[in-house]
Amino acid sequence: MKKPRFSAATFHSFGRLDIYAVLAFTIPFALYMATLAPSVTFFDSGEFLTAIFSLGSAHSPGYPMFLMYAKPFTWLPIGNIAFRINMATAFSSSLACLGVYLLTVYLLRDEKVTDNVKFSTFAAKGAGLAAALAFSVTPRLWLQSNHDKPYPLLAFIIAVIFYLLLRWREQFKNGLERPAYVYACTFLAGMAMAVHQTVVLMLPAWALFIILADWRMITRIKELILTTAFALFGFCVQLYLPFRATRNPVLNWGDPKTYEQFMWHFLRKGYPSEPHARNASLVWAQLKAFNVPHEFTWLGVILAILALVSLWRRQRDLVIAYLIAVATFLLVIVGYFDTPFDLIFLTEEFFTPLYLLTAVLIGIGLFQLLVFAVKNARLPEQLGAPVYGLVAVMFFALPITLCATNYYENDQHNNYIAFDYATNSLRSLPQNAVMFTWGDSGAFPLWYLQGVERMREDLDLPHTPHLVFDWYLDSMPRLFKDSNLRKFDMQSASPESSLRMAITDIIDQRPVYIDFSTRYSVVFSDYVPVQKGIVYRMRRINEPSGLPDISVWDNYNNRGILEKISFLDLDTGKAILIYANSYLEAGEFLMSIGRTEEGMRMLAKAVQISPEMKGTVQQIIARYQGMR
């Protein structure tokens, strides 16, 4: 006997407004707002914030759709610009959670637990809401939701595409031609290329899903041409990059005004990769970047497998599409990208769309588990509040557990470390100085403070790895208009050589500084770095060193440094160690010139920040006290 189909009216039986859908969005959004980073963070944050605010171009391939999506949030009358843009990501992550709910409920629309329609509706919607909430508090999505990231927006678009394909398949099986659904999907896929290029990894799954509905689809030339046309139409959002480049925005990465520069930017040619050996341990580490047990626990894995088994009997094409998507992501990201050990953490974010689909499976698995439980239980004909309550506990135990487990590590509401690191660096510099940076996390927060918050616009803050590109030299005419860097083919040289040449050009005209990362990344033969807080002034070897300036430390903000915060990612931890090492270096120097009391204070702060330095500090104290 065929199961009764739940109509749209059935799923809105609790009122015209679907309260479950509202909760699937509002609960994650409220959670993300409670843990939202209040300002700029590390990694790509400062760069994205500057590109969004100025409607410029971010690092290759530019991310134009993400920039345009987030720009309206900068107009909100709340918080600083960084907070508003972080809110944009919280919003897109909440939309992705809503996508999980809609997909789960749609796939359960023909299912029932009992003949009690109200209870079956509650079960389907409850499973959808539980899946959405479980996805919302996974470590990966939560981390992305607290500051500016494009991946949640991409995940939401992918959810919409899957929803439209499911609607198309239903119409097609009922004998109705609805190619507009497919055209809308290809348009969105083309547009999503401007959010993140990993959307192409979903194409094999989507294509196979359509072909499994009817293989003759590939013979419909007219539809194929229109599908391609809509994809190209969506892709046209990329034209934003050359159009905006003509206006020379504050951040104009790659300067894609010309076709050649646009393709250089779009194809990521500015990121040459060094060849490296591949072994079993590297492959295993790359594969572990897609880690469902870490995101959803092993219970989530079991529920997802239960869902795949259940769907295999009645919606085999959906199971195949999911498995093809997983295989494609792994083959390309692991097989083709071959990411080295120290960069694998970056590829972990690429799997967010797969986690969204896995969350849908977990919702279906919860529903099937309830079906099994009901079949083996003796329920009264009239189901009362205790039964509904027991089902709610069963469904929401996983998201509540995930939330409790991951909350502390993802709470960024008091994360000012990147903001303070950048402001402390700027406070250390004299008027009209030039400071060379090295490393994205060292440079990007400075870009945000100067380009968006308009701090210290008298400074020039060149990024050393970019000195080999003409487009970057063009973006800083005050510094590099007549530089010797333009007389040589610097792209064939190293950033270190470019840095030394740039310092030689500038040092007699303006005060030259380098950041901590540059200090310990480059060996200088003609210059000596002189510490001033967490930055270093460059002086020629034959110049007198002078006395150390320790007054700068009194002007520093140390939020989250001396008193630890809950959130601690890789670069935040590095920033904290930079403070500790800087205090250690300053303390040792002061001890060496006989300023023992001041040196002891500096060393004590180094230990307070990084207790593991206690042994090193004791050795320094013993060495210099023994010389007295």
pLDDT of residue 379: 67
pLDDT tens for each residue of 285-318:
999 999 999 999 999 999 999 999 999 988 999 9
Give the whole-angstrom CA distance, residue 182 versus residue 171: 12
Give me the number of domains the chain comprises.
2
Residue 55 domain-assigned (yes or no): yes
Residues 190 and 86 in one domain: yes
Structural domain ending residue among the three candidates 357, 378, 410: 410
The DSSP annotation for 340-402 comes to -GGGHHHHGGGGHHHHHHHHHHHHHHHHHHHHHHHHTS---SS--HHHHHHHHHHHHHHHHHH
The DSSP annotation for 482-495 comes to T-GGGGS-GGGS-H
**Tokens describing residue 454:** 């308009």
Cα 382 to chain centroid, rounded: 48
Residues 435 and 581 in one domain: yes
- Whether 4 has a pLDDT exceeding 50, the answer reads no
Residue 599 domain-assigned (yes or no): yes
Residues 250 and 376 in one domain: yes
Residues 434 and 352 in one domain: no
Stretch 497-519: mean pLDDT, rounded?
92
Q: Are 572 and 415 in contact (CB under 8 A)?
A: yes
Residue 454 Ramachandran class (φ > 0 left, ψ -120 to 50 alpha, else beta):
left
Given the structure tokens 């160690």, which residue do they identify? Answer: 577
Q: Are 159 and 50 in contact (CB under 8 A)?
A: no
At 1, is the pLDDT very low, low, confident or very high (cuts 50, 70, 90)? very low
Structural domain ending residue among the three candidates 375, 394, 410: 410
Residues 250 and 265 in one domain: yes
Give the whole-angstrom CA distance, residue 292 versus residue 304: 10
pLDDT tens for each residue of 449-474:
999 999 999 999 999 999 989 899 99
pLDDT tens for each residue of 234-282:
999 999 999 999 999 999 999 999 999 999 999 998 887 777 788 889 8
What interhelical angle do 352-375 and 385-410 show, nearest 10? Answer: 150
Structural domain ending residue among the three candidates 350, 376, 410: 410
pLDDT tens for each residue of 173-224:
888 888 899 999 999 999 999 999 999 999 999 999 999 988 887 888 988 9
The DSSP annotation for 23-79 comes to HHHHHHHHHHHHT--SS--TTTHHHHHHHHHHT-B-STT--HHHHHHHGGGGGSSSS
Residue 276 domain-assigned (yes or no): no
> What value, to the nearest 5°, has the Cα angle with vertex 475 and ends 469 and 477?
105
Residues 287 and 351 in one domain: yes
In this structure, what is the dihedral angle of CA atoms 217, 218, 220, 224, given to the nearest 10 degrees?
Answer: 110
What residues make up the domain containing 585?
417-626
**Nearest one of 238, 227, 239 to 184, comparing CA atoms:** 227
Residues 477 and 369 in one domain: no
Residue 277 domain-assigned (yes or no): no
Give the whole-angstrom CA distance, residue 583 versus residue 605: 7
pLDDT tens for each residue of 612-624:
999 999 999 988 8
**Nearest one of 471, 413, 366, 428 to 130, comparing CA atoms:** 366
- Average pLDDT, rounded, for the chain: 90
pLDDT tens for each residue of 74-116:
999 999 999 999 999 999 999 999 999 999 999 999 888 887 8
The more confident residue out of 183 and 521 is 183
Residue 3 domain-assigned (yes or no): no
Alpha carbon of 551 to those of 419, 431, 451, 620: distances in Å?
21, 17, 27, 22
At 58, is the pLDDT very low, low, confident or very high (cuts 50, 70, 90)? very high
Stretch 57-61: mean pLDDT, rounded?
94
pLDDT of residue 625: 75
**Nearest one of 20, 12, 2 to 111, comparing CA atoms:** 2
At 550, is the pLDDT very low, low, confident or very high (cuts 50, 70, 90)? confident
Residue 2 domain-assigned (yes or no): no
Residues 584 and 446 in one domain: yes
At 41, is the pLDDT very low, low, confident or very high (cuts 50, 70, 90)? very high
Alpha carbon of 492 to those of 469, 499, 525, 582: distances in Å?
10, 14, 22, 34
Residues 209 and 85 in one domain: yes
Residues 520 and 446 in one domain: yes
At 2, is the pLDDT very low, low, confident or very high (cuts 50, 70, 90)? very low
At 13, is the pLDDT very low, low, confident or very high (cuts 50, 70, 90)? very low
The DSSP symbol for 515 reads: E
At 564, is the pLDDT very low, low, confident or very high (cuts 50, 70, 90)? confident
pLDDT of residue 486: 84
Residue 1 domain-assigned (yes or no): no
Residues 383 and 504 in one domain: no
**Nearest one of 413, 415, 414, 417 to 556, comparing CA atoms:** 417
pLDDT of residue 15: 44
Residue 44 domain-assigned (yes or no): yes
- pTM here? 0.92
- What are the DSSP E strand ranges found in 425-473? 434-436
Residues 138 and 31 in one domain: yes
Stretch 518-529: mean pLDDT, rounded?
89
Largest CA distance in the chain: 96
Stretch 596-602: mean pLDDT, rounded?
91
- Whether 323 has a pLDDT exceeding 70, the answer reads yes
